[in-house]
Amino acid sequence: MNSPVLLITFNRPAYVRQMIAALRAAKVRNLYVFKDGPRPNNTADYNASKEIENIIGSIDWECSVKTNYMQNNLGCGYGPYSAISWAFQYENELIILEDDCVPTIPFFDFCTGMLEKYRNNIKIKHITGRCPAPEHYIFRKYDYIYTQYAPTIGWATWKRTWENFDMQMREVEPFIKNGGFTNQFSSKKEAKFFNRRFDETRRDPNAVFHIWDYQYGLHSRMNGALGIVPAANLIDYIGVEGTHPTAVNSEIVQLKTSTKFVAKNHPSEIAIIPEYDYAYFCRFIYGNSSLLHRIISHIKKIIKPCRLIRR
């Protein structure tokens, strides 16, 4: 598998071992490894860091490995941002994996194929291997779709997408003042939600230290870009330990993966499926925001169900 892969890690050697096994199975030939540094005076971080270095050093298949090991801790915001920016100094496209997700073989094939197919199409921002709702009726027609909601949990993108991305979100204020996402989404609820959410994030001086994907999502959506989601889930999410742990019994952890997926049926045009996007928003974003929003969402679901549609 010749597409370059970036692995982002920190202090979870057990997760890294699972990832290395997946990379070996896929015969990845070009690997970048970015490891964030240990937190100050944290012996466990220091020991885990050394163990991860040993794991990476033991890679035993034909693979070019370039490493960037931080001495200081950058955190969950600037860490991944710095990792991706670093790897794009050497490559024009990347498959990007954090150590809390385990890819299947079809994930690599799908990403490689989509990177090549849409390499020169600036409308497409990235490809995800995460399909949170493979039961949606649209996937009976197409093997992948275009959407504004393509999770960055096992994904691939191009240098052209990452360029001009601003972690400080300085582009938000004038964007919001000019109407923001008013005409961006298929529903007013989505536009209002993201206008508020991104403005709140911009005003949080600590945001850059613990998140990066919000800023990236803003940058992509502001430029009208779309992501690609496969009809089957190709990423096994295992992030039940760490700074942002997920419950073992949560939907994101329990979602099954496909090991036989092949993309054959292509969409007829590059356009979102409004029903899919709105349903995704209701189920995975709006319903999982603040407590107040979760209560409101629950009430609205009782009155008028808002779910991914089966037909």
Asked which of 47-51, 62-66, 170-174 is least confident by mean pLDDT, the reply is 170-174
What integer pLDDT is reported at residue 123 of this predicted model? 94
Q: Does some domain include residue 110?
A: yes
What CATH number does the domain containing 239 carry? 3.90.550.10
Question: What mean pLDDT is predicted for residues 162-187?
Answer: 85
Residue 298 binned pLDDT confidence (cut-offs 50, 70, 90): very low
What integer pLDDT is reported at residue 295 of this predicted model? 42
Question: What mean pLDDT is predicted for residues 32-41?
Answer: 97
Q: Does some domain include residue 220?
A: yes
Q: Does some domain include residue 78?
A: yes
Query: Token pair for residue 285?
Result: 């974003």
Residue-wise DSSP of the chain = --S-EEEEESS-HHHHHHHHHHHHHTT--EEEEEEPPPPTT-HHHHHHHHHHHHHHHT--SS-EEEEEE-SS--HHHHHHHHHHHHHTTT-SEEEEEETTEEE-HHHHHHHHHHHHHTTT-TTEEEEES--S-TTSGGGGT-SEEEES----SSEEEEHHHHTT--TT-TTHHHHHHTTTTTTTSSSHHHHHHHHHHHHHHHH-TTHHHH-SHHHHHHHHHHTT-EEEEESS--EEE---SSSS---TTSHHHH----SS-------SSS-B-HHHHHHHIIIIIGGGS-HHHHHHHHHHHHHS-------
Asked which of 36-40, 106-110, 123-127, 306-310 is least confident by mean pLDDT, the reply is 306-310
Residue 295: burial class (beta carbons within 10 Å; 0-12, 13-18, 19+) = exposed
Determine the structural domain holding residue 256 and report its residue range.
5-167+212-272
Q: Tell which residue, 241, 237, 167, 238, has the closest CA to residue 205.
A: 167
For the cut 90, the answer to whether the pLDDT of residue 182 exceeds it is no
Residue 311 binned pLDDT confidence (cut-offs 50, 70, 90): very low
For the cut 70, the answer to whether the pLDDT of residue 47 exceeds it is yes
What integer pLDDT is reported at residue 10 of this predicted model? 96
**What total number of domains does the chain contain?**
1
What integer pLDDT is reported at residue 187 of this predicted model? 87
Asked which of 39-48, 105-114, 200-209 is least confident by mean pLDDT, the reply is 200-209
- Round to whole Å and give the CA distance between 6 and 154: 10
Instruction: Provide the terminal-to-terminal Cα distance of the chain, rounded to the nearest Å.
Output: 37
For the cut 80, the answer to whether the pLDDT of residue 253 exceeds it is no
Question: What mean pLDDT is predicted for residues 26-37?
Answer: 98
Q: Does some domain include residue 196?
A: no
Alpha-carbon distances of 135 from 129, 203, 231, 264, 297, rounded to whole Å? 16, 38, 9, 18, 22
Q: Does some domain include residue 10?
A: yes
Q: Tell which residue, 228, 246, 227, has the closest CA to residue 236.
A: 246
Task: Write down the residue that tokens 């300085």 correspond to.
Answer: 170
How far from chain centre, in Å, is Cα 306?
Answer: 24
Q: Tell which residue, 114, 159, 93, 133, has the closest CA to residue 306.
A: 133
Question: What mean pLDDT is predicted for residues 293-297?
Answer: 42
Residue 297 binned pLDDT confidence (cut-offs 50, 70, 90): very low
- Round to whole Å and give the CA distance between 198 and 172: 7
Q: Does some domain include residue 223?
A: yes
Contact 125, 220 (CB under 8 A): yes
Q: Does some domain include residue 22?
A: yes
